[in-house]
């Protein structure tokens, strides 16, 4: 018995992306209560040279999408990075969940030693599937999801650890 590559990827990302959708609901309710436009969130940054909220969501989705596609060796759907509203971001998250949920477990299981080609700014690198998932995709995914959470908290949205971790029973 041990953790399968599938169970360490798709269900982990699907679960957190579901939580992210719920944070967006709370963000929308907060904006309504405070009477500001939800588009204010989209440009929010924690530092002037960090990526804004919209990009954090896009990259969190892409971390999951490309991670799953590369492990499975399937083509990933192309998303245009043209979201301009919370509704658009919700749609991006849903499309991501739809795609990764469509990949069969059998396509991902057994990819531990598979060579994964990862495009980087300074050229391609090749990582083994298990290293790629544990030390690249997962931390990258959590980085952008957590930064999105931090941006909402920084802008007054009432989220707590329970919203981050989700249901535990």
Q: List contacts with its own copies (CB under 8 A).
A: 1-5, 7-8, 11-12, 15-16, 46-47, 50, 109-110, 112-113, 118, 120, 125, 127, 130, 133-136, 138-140, 142-143, 146-147, 149-150, 153-154, 156, 161, 164-166, 168-169
In the complex, least distance from residue 150 CB atom to its own copies, rounded to whole angstroms:
5
Q: Tell me which residue of 133, 146, 14, 125 sits closest to 67, measured CA to CA.
A: 133
State residue 51 phi and psi, 5-degree precision: -75, 145
The smaller minimum CB distance to its own copies, of residues 36 and 84, is found at 36
In the complex, least distance from residue 74 CB atom to its own copies, rounded to whole angstroms:
20
In the complex, least distance from residue 19 CB atom to its own copies, rounded to whole angstroms:
9
Identify the H or E element spanning 61: helix 53-72
CA distance 79 to 66: 11
The smaller minimum CB distance to its own copies, of residues 75 and 169, is found at 169
In the complex, least distance from residue 91 CB atom to its own copies, rounded to whole angstroms:
24
The smaller minimum CB distance to its own copies, of residues 74 and 118, is found at 118
In the complex, least distance from residue 39 CB atom to its own copies, rounded to whole angstroms:
21
Q: Tell me which residue of 44, 58, 38 sits closest to 141, measured CA to CA.
A: 58
Q: Which residues does residue 117 pair with via DSSP β-bridges, in sequence order?
A: 126
The smaller minimum CB distance to its own copies, of residues 75 and 161, is found at 161
| DSSP per-residue letters across 99-130 | HHHHS-HHHHTT-TT-EEEEEETTEEEEEEHH
The smaller minimum CB distance to its own copies, of residues 8 and 69, is found at 8
**How remote is the C-alpha of 84 from its chain's centroid?**
17
């Amino acid at each position: 018995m041990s953790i399968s590559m599938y169970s360490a990827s798709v269900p982990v990302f699907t679960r957190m992306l579901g939580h992210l959708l719920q944070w967006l609901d709370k963000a929308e309710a907060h904006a309504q209560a405070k009477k500001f436009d939800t588009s204010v969130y989209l440009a929010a940054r924690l530092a002037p040279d960090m990526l804004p909220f919209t990009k954090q969501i896009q990259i969190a989705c892409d971390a999951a999408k490309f991670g799953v596609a590369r492990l499975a060796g399937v083509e990933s759907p192309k998303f245009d990075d043209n979201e301009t509203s919370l509704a658009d971001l919700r749609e991006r998250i849903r499309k991501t969940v739809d795609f990764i949920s469509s990949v069969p477990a059998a396509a991902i299981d057994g990819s531990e030693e598979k060579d994964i080609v990862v495009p980087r700014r300074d050229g391609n690198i090749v990582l083994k599937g298990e290293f790629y998932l544990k030390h690249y995709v997962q931390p990258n995914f959590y980085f952008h999801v957590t930064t999105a959470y931090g941006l909402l908290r920084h802008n007054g949205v009432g989220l707590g650890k329970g919203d981050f971790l989700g249901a535990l029973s």
